[in-house]
């Protein structure tokens, strides 16, 4: 499965979603209709001039337009994240897994890392497929064998962004629904993971604080409610 085929993009309902836009430094007030892209590479292909900007778009503020997205209303300069100083955006691909058990009353495996409940995930190695990355990262962070994991299906992807070594990382993360035969876990100390715990899906939705993860678990809850897990 190629990265591009994993869908949908999971949009937070109550928080901004980051996209990449092309604009000159003088035109950073982005007008309605501005084209937005999910990665810097996609934006660069249509941006022979100008710079690439990481933009925080409010919920419902963008709609898909073919391979790109389109801004539904104008945004002020304050929506641009990678200015003052300008940090060129780079793509940092990642993948992770939502490990579940008990189809009738789904439970989700969360990890506790740096004071927050999180889902296991990590950066992809060069040339590594999303599936291989997800299996490797989840097994490493949970401290189990990769053979103890079964990838059931792709769930979609999320995107978040953050400053990174003079650049601005745009991190698309591909998520997979997983099951495990493991019953004990050894949290990966090197990644500062202190605990691994099962939670009912509804409680997992409350415990994660990152908007993109909330969007992912809301999507999972909708699948469960429709009997599609």
84-119: pLDDT as tens digits: 889 999 999 999 999 999 867 899 999 999 999 999
Q: How far apart are CA 162 and CA 87, in angstroms?
A: 10
Q: Is the pLDDT of residue 4 over 60?
A: no
pTM score, whole prediction:
0.93
- For residue 55 the two structure tokens come to 């933009």
| Residue ranges of the chain that CATH labels 3.90.79.10 | 91-225
Distance separating alpha carbons of residues 229 and 223, to the nearest angstrom: 6
Calculate what percentage of the chain has a pLDDT beyond 90: 85
- How much is the average pLDDT of 35-49? 92
Query: For residue 54, with 0-12 CB atoms within 10 Å meaning exposed, 13-18 middle and 19 or more buried, which class applies?
Result: buried
134: left (phi over 0), alpha (psi -120 to 50) or beta: alpha
Domain 91-225 has CATH 3.40.50.300: no
Q: What are phi and psi of 165, to 5 degrees?
A: 50, 50
Confidence class of residue 28 from pLDDT cuts 50, 70 and 90? confident
Indicate the pLDDT class of residue 29, thresholds 50, 70 and 90. confident
pLDDT higher than threshold 60 for residue 32: yes
């Amino acid at each position: 499965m190629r990265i591009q085929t994993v869908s949908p993009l999971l949009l937070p309902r109550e928080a901004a979603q980051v996209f990449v836009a092309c604009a000159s430094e003088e035109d950073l007030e982005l007008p309605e209709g501005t084209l937005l892209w999910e990665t810097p590479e996609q934006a660069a292909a249509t941006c022979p001039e100008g710079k690439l900007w990481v933009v925080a778009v409010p919920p419902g503020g963008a709609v898909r337009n073919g391979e790109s997205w389109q801004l539904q209303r104008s945004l002020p300069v304050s929506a641009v994240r990678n200015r003052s100083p300008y940090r060129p955006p780079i793509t940092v691909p990642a993948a992770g897994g939502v490990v579940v058990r008990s189809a009738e009353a789904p439970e989700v495996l969360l990890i506790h890392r740096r004071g927050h409940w999180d889902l296991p995930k990590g950066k992809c190695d060069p040339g590594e497929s999303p599936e291989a990355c997800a299996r490797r990262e989840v097994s490493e962070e949970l401290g189990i064998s990769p053979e103890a994991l079964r990838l059931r299906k792709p769930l979609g992807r999320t995107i978040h962004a953050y400053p990174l070594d003079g650049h601005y990382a745009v991190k698309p993360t591909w998520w997979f629904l997983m099951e495990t035969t493991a019953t004990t876990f050894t949290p990966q100390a090197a990644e500062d993971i202190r605990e691994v715990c099962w939670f009912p899906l509804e409680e997992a939705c409350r415990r994660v604080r990152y908007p993109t993860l909330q969007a992912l678990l809301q999507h999972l809850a909708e699948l469960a409610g429709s009997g599609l897990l």
